[in-house]
Amino acid sequence: MWILKNSKELLEHLKSTHFSRVHSIKAFDFSTLYTTIPHSKLKERLAKIISNAFTSKNGNRKYKFIVVNYDKTYFVKEKSDSENKYTETDIIQMLNFLIDNIFVVFGGKVFQQIVGIPMGTNCAPLLADIFLYSYEAEFIQSLVSEGKRYLASDFNFTYRYIDDVLSINNPKFADYLSSIYPSELEVKETTETNNSASYLDIMLSYDTDGHMNTSLYDKRDDFNFSITNFPFLSSNIPSSPAYGVFISQLIRYARASTKYTDFVLRARRLSDKLLSQGYVCDRLTSSLRKFYGRYGELVIHYDVPLSRMVDDILGDRRSVKPGAPSEPNEYNFNYQRRGLFIIINNKRFHPSTGLMTRDGTNADAERLEERFQDLGFMVRRYDDVTSTKLTKLMNDASEFDHSDCDCFGCAILSHGVEGRVYATDGMLSLDVLILPFRGDKCPTLVGKPKLFFLQACRCGRLDVSVDDSVSDRSGFSEDSEHGVSHMRKIPVESDFLFFYSTVPGRYSWRNHQEGTWFIQALCIVLENYGNKMELVHMLTQVNRIVAYEFESCTDEEFTERLKQMPCIVSMLTRYVHFRPKKPDIRD
């Protein structure tokens, strides 16, 4: 058992502990510690601990006094000339007096606390610690005396801060609570998920490989109202201490965050808040540099140079000095890597969805894979993806460290319905899939293009018989019974681009052998102009090809000579150019 002083002590211990594999994280809270413990039991336990403290380590002699000086405290076995000396009996009597004399004035009446840890006193946390420790020590000692050291070792990574308990790699800890603590205590598990738990101001989690990750947890993030917890520069606080708040919080974030992305996310949120309160970006930049110089050991494991850290946290907010050149018209594509590009290629669907097989989609996926590899992307293709896997893929992609990447791209080839796309076993909201890439969720993509290519229908009124007749007789079929998304559903976020295969309310055509018109045209343009033409200009070329050069050819009059019009929805703020990278840099 570990009694913690604060979360800093917990983080230091976790960093010094080399877990071979983390497989369980559990958090608990004592909800009745200050309201149900009988004073008689509290006095008895405290007296026992104090008596043990006055006994020498070998148990042969009792210390006579504890001497309390301004600079140190120590036990003595004989006489002492110090005026500040206390016997075992003195300490016990003082504590008993404290416990019996806690009063509260409420409504003009005086009430006495007759149960629970004394509230409202400076020593209350210490008394709670000593009281609970007496039970914890007894429990561990009983396991050892019974020859159950193997079981006692399961509690090696159990931590307690007053009434909050954390247990790591002991999934059955809850089964022992009644054996450890007194029956008056009510203990509730507060674990968030199977692999994560918040404890004090830390969020702890572990991944599928058993690696421990920590990040800062602040319950105020979930409040639906704003909180002013940092000084305004317009207040009477001198500016130097005010900017020192920025440094102190960076220290806190760095200690808590295993991942660089979590550190940057917190630092960016704080800088946004401070800038809105009148802080000057140049001085925040200077404070960030000061933090890096003085406390570099806290961020050394991120392996990130100062220049990049400044760019990631304050890069797009730094003020332009007089006479400095204006903002560039193009996105910075001089990073080491082009970026990650994900292809979701759904061909076959579970019978419960009632959806037809998307013949021809593999041809689309292969073309896309080749074209975006040519542009320097790290392409990852996933076929026939379930809703659970699709959600995880998008979350994992957002948590990927994009710091050395120019941009991010994703293509989804599937059926769709109003506001959603189909996984193989059901529908998912397009907004939910895109949300993890917003600036407040994915800091290493802030200020970088996030490109989404969506091949699916956007129509809400499809007669299934139309799909059957077109598919059976011509080799063409519509990609969906309904639509992918209303434009108003698109997240209002800069640096996103969505390229839909068709406008809202219309079908998206697909050939069973050649694939979709949309992807065919896109790949033709990328092959011819990928490294030469600006992206939106290329997509305009795709629009023209699909609009003018493709036309349905079926045996049914009502589906004969139909057209399709792709749709570009851009929140880009600069131009995008996929200029070739040096051969030794490209993945």
Class of the CATH-defined domain 337-570 = alpha beta
pLDDT value, residue 564? 67
Question: Domain ranges in the chain?
Answer: 2-206, 239-314, 337-570
The reply to whether 457 belongs to the active site is: yes
Q: What is the pLDDT of residues 112-163, one digit of tens each?
A: 999 998 888 888 999 999 999 999 999 999 999 999 998 999 999 999 999 9
Q: Is 197:168 a contact under the CB 8 Å cutoff?
A: no
User: Which one of 405, 410, 442, 457 is the catalytic residue?
Assistant: 457
Order across the sheet with 509-511: list the strands: 476-478, 509-511, 515-516
What's the pLDDT tens digit per position in 310-354? 988 987 665 444 333 434 688 989 888 999 999 999 999 998 888
Angle at 28 between CA 26 and CA 32, to 5 degrees: 170
Quick one: pLDDT band at residue 28, thresholds 50, 70, 90? very high
User: How many whole angstroms separate alpha carbon 233 and alpha carbon 284?
Assistant: 13
Contact 413, 363 (CB under 8 A): no
Whether the CB-CB separation of 468 and 355 falls below 8 Å is answered with no
- pLDDT score for 112: 93
Residues with Cβ within 8 Å of 360's Cβ and at least 6 positions away in sequence, in order, are 510, 511, 512, 513, 514, 515, 516
Q: Do 9 and 180 meet the contact criterion of CB atoms below 8 Å apart? A: no
In this model, does residue 306 exceed pLDDT 80?
A: yes
pLDDT at site 462: 34
DSSP states of 395-420:
HHHHHS--TTEEEEEEEEES-EETTE
Q: Is 123 a catalytic residue?
A: no
Annotated catalytic residue within 407, 415, 442, 523: 415
Distance between CA 444 and CA 402 in Å, rounded?
Answer: 5
Query: Helices 260-276 and 281-294: crossing angle, nearest 10°?
Result: 140
Query: What percentage of the chain has pLDDT greater than the value 90?
Result: 45
Main-chain dihedrals φ then ψ at residue 407, nearest 5 degrees: -165, -175
What are the E-state strand segments in 293-435? 337-345, 378-383, 405-413, 416-417, 420-423, 426-429
Over the chain, what is the mean pLDDT?
82
Distance of CA 445 to the CA centre of its chain: 15
Q: List, as one string, the DSSP characters of 246-296.
A: HHHHHHHHHHH-SSHHHHHHHHHHHHHHHHHTT--HHHHHHHHHHHHHHSG
Query: CA 389, 395, 400 angle in degrees (round to 5)?
Result: 120
Contacts of 175 (CB under 8 A, 6+ apart): none
HSE, side-chain direction, 13 A CA sphere, residue 183: 0
Q: Is 524 exposed, middle or buried (0-12, 13-18, 19+ CB in 10 A)?
A: middle
pLDDT score at 476: 38
Spell out where 58-201 has E strands: 65-68, 73-76, 85-86, 103-106, 109-112, 158-161, 164-168, 187-189, 196-199
Which pLDDT belongs to residue 62?
A: 79
Strands 426-429 and 420-423: what pairing? Answer: antiparallel
Say if residues 554 and 466 touch (Cβ distance below 8 Å): no
User: What mean pLDDT do residues 487-512 have?
Assistant: 61
